[in-house]
Amino acid sequence: MDPAPLYLSLKLAVVTTVVLVILAAPLTYLLVYVRFAGKSFFEALLSLPMVLPPTVLGFYLLLVMTPQGSVGRFWKAATGSPLIFTFAGIVLASLVYSLPFAIQPMKASFEKIDRRLLESAYVLGLSPLAAFFRVIIPNAINGLAASAILVFIHTLGEFGVILMVGGSIPGETKVASIAIYEAVEALRYRDAAMMCLVLVPVSYFFLLVINRLTQRRIYGS
Amino acid sequence: MDLNLSIKKKLPHFDIDVSFSCRKGRLLVLVGPSGAGKTTLVRMLAGLDRPDHGRITYDGETWVDTDTGIFLPPQKRHVGYVFQEYTLFPHLSVAKNVAFSAADKGDVPSLLRRFNIWHLKDRKPDRISGGERQRCAICQAMARRPRLLLLDEPFSALDAVTRQNLREELQKLKRELSIPIIHVTHDISEALYLGDDVLPMVNGRVVRKWMVQFMLKGRLPEPEQFFEDRADYNPRERRDLSVLYDSLEVMH
């Protein structure tokens, strides 16, 4: 069994998780604490990747990420290399695809924080930004951890979107799920089984951790 | 060198329309039935709510002036606010809660000792009693070295003995501080025990201060006198006044 696809899946999952947790926290703050026009439309837009078929999302991402597409053109101008069929490309696709999975648990934990704690922080002299880091984040730490794990295991299992925008380039975009598919297609069941044997317990373990985290009392609730 | 306030705010069932002053070193008690607008008034003083019209000034500094659009945010008012419910930060120990925004971290040990919670300094708020939590909340508010202390029914959830102990501590604290203290309660005995000035408040309005003076002098006004010039009050307001009068009578 070639371990490269597993390593690539792991790398993609780690990068996506780190970027998404950092990106989703302020977005979730916006959704929970800030009132603005069109908020429900914005929230639905952020959740859209959760309900769209991966091939549909992959198709639109493919259109914008080609060198002729807006994002692909910008990327090429900035870095000199194409975005499509690269590791950077599948990272971007993963970020879009897993964004709602990062936001949902975070939103639930932000909403459980008593608003009077924030008011107390403001009266005690904290700016909204300082209150975000010193009150919201520490009290939503379980939700943040649940988000991170959910994104991680969701990214490990990604298939359709990655195939659409990354193809199957060994060492670059050929992640474990695609390698399993190809192994089965080529009747290499032993290789497929070995990779599955690694992915199933990893995913199961992280799901158990999520359950523990979400069952624990969240501070401020 | 006073806190001066004259504000109006429209609420769903009545309007708040209040004017008063509070001098440094004085404890002013706002007393009245639940839903009289006391908490909203205190929130406006803290900067957590905005009045529709009016002015709040402190020491010559304008905190709110709706005519000129001035609104000083809560962060800049340097107010100590003890909420009715426990609002200690649950992820922090008692000592860290008090130090959270202390003007000088060096004050923290002496404050913890002053309020008899030094032995609890490493405990989280969910591991201490209600009375201890409110001591910690007062400590937290004091650590900021506030220019104005707001206490919104801080003892209402406590048992009678703890409540009395904390009242006595607040009396001592009042003598030590040279800032205005505004204390909100629905408990008339607490108001009379603590207050240098007592403002009875019903449906967003301060009812006559002389009524309390009557009480302190040992006699209540006759109901007719109490309700005189209240003809403009609607039936609900008159009912609330009756409730207030009855509670005063019971106390008396």
In chain B, where the domains are located: 2-78+147-251
Lowest-pLDDT range of A102-106, A197-201, B157-161, B230-234: B230-234
- The verdict on a CB contact (< 8 Å) between B87 and A139 is no
| Angle between helix A4-33 and A189-215 (nearest 10) | 30
pLDDT exceeds 90 at position B242 = no
Q: Is residue A220 a part of any domain in this protein? A: no
pLDDT at B233: 56
Task: Give the pLDDT score at B120.
Answer: 94
Average pLDDT over residues B38-49: 95
What are the chain A neighbours of B151 within 8 Å (beta carbons)? none
Q: Name which CATH class applies to B2-78+147-251.
A: alpha beta
Contact (Cβ atoms closer than 8 angstroms) between residue B94 and residue B128:
yes
The one-letter code for the residue type at A208 is L
pLDDT tier for residue A210 given thresholds of 50, 70 and 90: confident
**What gap in Å lies between CA B25 and CA B148, rounded to an integer?**
10
Q: What is the mean pLDDT of residues A81-85?
A: 92
CATH code, domain with A190: 1.10.3720.10
> Per residue in A37-67, pLDDT tens?
999 999 999 999 999 999 999 999 999 999 9
pTM over 0.90: no
d(CA B226, CA B210): 10
- Within a domain: residue A18? yes
* Domain contains A221: no
Number of domains in chain A: 1
Q: What is the pLDDT at residue A221? A: 36
Binned at pLDDT 50, 70 and 90, residue B246 comes out as low
Nearest to A125 among B48, B75, B83 (CB): B75
The number of C-alpha atoms within 13 Å of A189 and in the hemisphere containing its C-beta is 0
List, for residues B187-215, the tens digit of each pLDDT value. 777 887 888 888 888 778 887 655 554 54
Residue numbers in B near A125 (CB within 8 A): 75, 78, 101, 144
In whole numbers, what is the pLDDT of chain B averaged over residues? 84
Chain B partners within 8 Å of A139 (Cβ):
89-91
Whole-angstrom Cα distance, residue A200 to residue A192?
Answer: 12
Chain B neighbors of A134, CB-CB under 8 A: 100
Where residue B160 falls among pLDDT bands split at 50, 70, 90?
confident
Q: Does the model's ipTM exceed the 0.85 cut?
A: no
Residue A220 has pLDDT above 50, yes or no: no
Per the CB < 8 A criterion, the answer to whether B16 and B204 are in contact is yes
Identify which of B154, B144, B141, B147 has the alpha carbon closest to the alpha carbon of residue B38.
Answer: B154
The pLDDT of residue B168 is: 87
Residue A33 has pLDDT above 90, yes or no: yes
Q: Rounded to whole angstroms, how far apart are CA atoms A20 and B214? A: 66
Which of A126, A134, A141 shows the shortest C-beta gap to B75? A126
* B90, B91, B100 member nearest A124 (Cβ): B100
Report the pLDDT value the prediction gives residue B69, as an integer from 0 to 100: 94
Q: What residues 135-154 of chain B have any CB closer than 8 A to a CB of chain A?
A: 140, 144
Is the per-residue pLDDT at A207 higher than 80? Answer: yes
How do B70-71 and B27-31 pair as beta strands? unpaired
Structure confidence by residue, pLDDT tens digits, A161-189: 999 999 999 989 999 999 999 999 999 99
Residue A209, domain extent = 4-215
In a domain, A83, yes or no: yes
Q: Which residues of A69-103 are buried (b: 16+ CB within 10 A; e: fewer)?
A: bebbbebbeeeeebbbbbbbbbbbbbbbbbbbbbb
Assess whether pLDDT exceeds 80 at residue A150: yes
| Confidence band for A3, pLDDT divided at 50, 70 and 90 | confident
